[in-house]
Structure 1
């Protein structure tokens, strides 16, 4: 099998007579809750070959987990930051080396020190598989990630493409990718 590597304080003051100003917010009011992180919408796409329903569901869940781990490590998380050493979990050594060389595309490393927050606004994965003897042997995960970048950089970026996966050491691993990235607004 040949795989083509083509390669998101309040301030109080005192008056002159040392009397504190009244706080307009009652002390008992709850703090606003942060929005829950956006979950990935995933589905199984084309399956070539025979693969049972339980195996299909397990494959979709497992591969989506690999894609999510990469998205979370490479594009989301705590900002500002400059450390992207762990940005490629689930990648083989060779694919991770290629991705590090393409860091502007494959992570937020280029803007990491200039953003305060990155919020995913769209996360989608479609899992296509090749099965032989009722076992998935190769997978293409088609994905779209849209994210709002906030800080010195204010924009929405979209990353989309395909990750090519195969089983290595008992787990699904990314062996190559075909990804593009652009500014939406």
Structure 2
């Protein structure tokens, strides 16, 4: 996946946008032109913006960090909310989580995925925004937090649409350059008048 250079107040990673559209359609990244700037599906682009903790890092390093964290978040979004519907398999949504966080997330699966609308005929992303804060020591990045606003629209069998909204934080760890989610503190609105907050932290 390529990286787009950091722009003031706005960062859009085209590589992540393409990955979301491509994975949702079941193709491989090599099937998608590298210069394509909008997904083939009607899902919104994933917007990643660094807001704190990277002041002393050069632009290329920040772009690399945003790319790595964007990959983690896009993997989660695709497996938890997009893909083919109707569907019943959502456990793979936590592939980018640590083992401990994945166990907790499995218990919260109805609050972290589109399980409640598994009978939908289609789910698309309407907003995917992530604001990143990094933890740095001596010029090295050890972890971070992604504050997210993820919104989706599910089309049900009767043609009605149902909004799903996930707001909150994902706690990120960098182990030997590999990023993963080790905790979360989020609120999920299932579009049926129920908004539930759930969290997991070591």
TM-score w.r.t. structure 2 length?
0.69
Question: Which residue of structure 1 aligns with residue 146 of structure 2?
Answer: 141
Mean CA deviation greater in 132-141 or 40-49 = 40-49
Paired residues in the alignment total: 151
Is the Cα–Cα contact under 8 Å of residues 156 and 162 in structure 2 kept in the other structure?
A: no
Indicate the structure whose relative CO is greater, using CA pairs within 8 Å and at least 6 residues apart.
Answer: 1
> Take 1:150 and 1:157, find their aligned partners in 2: how far apart are those partners?
11
Alignment CA distance shift 1:95-1:169 (3 Å):
farther
SS in 2 for 1:87: helix
CA-CA distance at 1:141 after TM superposition: 0.7
Give the 5 Å matches for 1:20-59.
Answer: 35-47=41-53, 50-59=56-65
SS in 1 for 2:70: helix
Alignment CA distance shift 1:55-1:169 (3 Å):
closer
Is the Cα–Cα contact under 8 Å of residues 142 and 175 in structure 2 kept in the other structure?
A: no
Is the Cα–Cα contact under 8 Å of residues 49 and 131 in structure 1 kept in the other structure?
A: no
Give the 5 Å matches for 1:18-167.
Answer: 35-47=41-53, 50-112=56-118, 114-152=119-157, 154-167=161-174
CA-CA distance at 1:184 after TM superposition: 5.6
RMSD of equivalent CA atoms: 1.9
State the 4+ residue runs in structure 1 displaced beyond 3 angstroms.
34-37
Indicate the structure (1 or 2) with the bigger Cα radius of gyration. 1
Structure 1 gap ranges (5+): 1-33
TM-score w.r.t. structure 1 length?
0.75
